[in-house]
Amino acid sequence: MAVSLQTKIVNTVPDHLAVIMDGNGRWAKQRNLVRQAGHRAGIKSVRMIIEQCAKQGVNYLTLFTFSSENWKRPDDEIRGLMSLFMEALNKEVAELDQNGIQLKFIGETNLLNPAFKKTMDEAEARTCKNKGMTLTLAVAYGGRADLVSAARRLAHEVSIGKIEPDQVDQKRFAGVLEMGQLPDVDLLIRTGGERRVSNFLLWSLAYSELYFSDALWPDFQSQDLLKAFDFYASRQRRFGRTGEQVEASP
């Protein structure tokens, strides 16, 4: 994965891009392969999107790698996914570090195998001082659980008298979410033809532009990403204002 931090190629790219990488299993089924083959094939698309986002000037890239609902899948598929995830992480972290990319993880990582958790912690520590693109991998993550956890933290702070109830506003609430230190998502891409957000970053997606691609994740290529960026560049982001107000603003 030859990541090169160059200037932007397109006129407008999202500051924060999030991706739901869907379609690995269906890609494998179409080829009469086991599902694990589809997950492995999807790694090349992960490499591509990291490289292209760094090159295009995206500052934050968040990938939905394993949802809290994915625990419902067959045990052998979960083991295969986790093994593949660790294999890819061990292989790529040195190059991510070399290219100045900071790696973060969100989700209920305490539910993971301790050896996996240790590898993830080491990767975060190795890259924590990097100043390039921030790559966040959502592992065992669920948007509703994230919201509930944030509410629980604030309720505890109120119960011990650290804050007053009327001090709980949107800024404070956002700050205790797993993505609290990162800006909201500007563009969400979902591959695989589905049109839903699947419990991903529910707070951060409030004003995101949504782009749905019919390409299965292993087939998602750089030209597909550029189409999504073109879509994003064509959008007028109003955030509650009128179009006239947006056009008149500097």
Q: DSSP letters of 49-112?
A: HHHHHHHHT-SEEEEEEEEGGGGGS-HHHHHHHHHHHHHHHHHHHHHHHHTT-EEEEES-GGGS
pLDDT band at 6 (very low <50, low <70, confident <90, very high): very low
Residues acting as catalytic residues: 22, 70
Return all residues near 34 (Cβ < 8 A) that are at least 6 apart: 28
Handedness of CA 173, 176, 177, 182 (dihedral sign): positive
Task: Indicate whether 225 pLDDT > 70.
Answer: yes
Task: Indicate whether 73 pLDDT > 70.
Answer: yes
Instruction: State the SS3 of 104-150.
Output: EEECCHHHCCHHHHHHHHHHHHHHCCCCCCEEEEEEEECHHHHHHHH
Adjacency order of strands within the sheet including 60-67: 102-106, 134-141, 60-67, 16-20, 187-190, 209-212
**CA–CA distance, 94 with 135 (Å, rounded to integer):** 14
Q: Any idea what DSSP says for residue 181?
A: T
pLDDT single digits (tens) 82-132: 889 889 999 999 999 999 999 999 999 888 889 889 999 999 999 999 999
**CA–CA distance, 219 with 91 (Å, rounded to integer):** 22
**Average per-residue pLDDT for the chain:** 90
**CA–CA distance, 48 with 44 (Å, rounded to integer):** 6
Structure tokens at 88: 């890819």
Average pLDDT over residues 204-229: 97
pLDDT single digits (tens) 164-209: 999 999 999 999 999 999 999 999 999 999 999 999 999 999 999 9
Q: What is the CATH number of domain 16-144+182-235?
A: 3.40.1180.10
User: What pTM, to 2 d.p., does this model score?
Assistant: 0.90
Q: Any idea what DSSP says for residue 183?
A: P
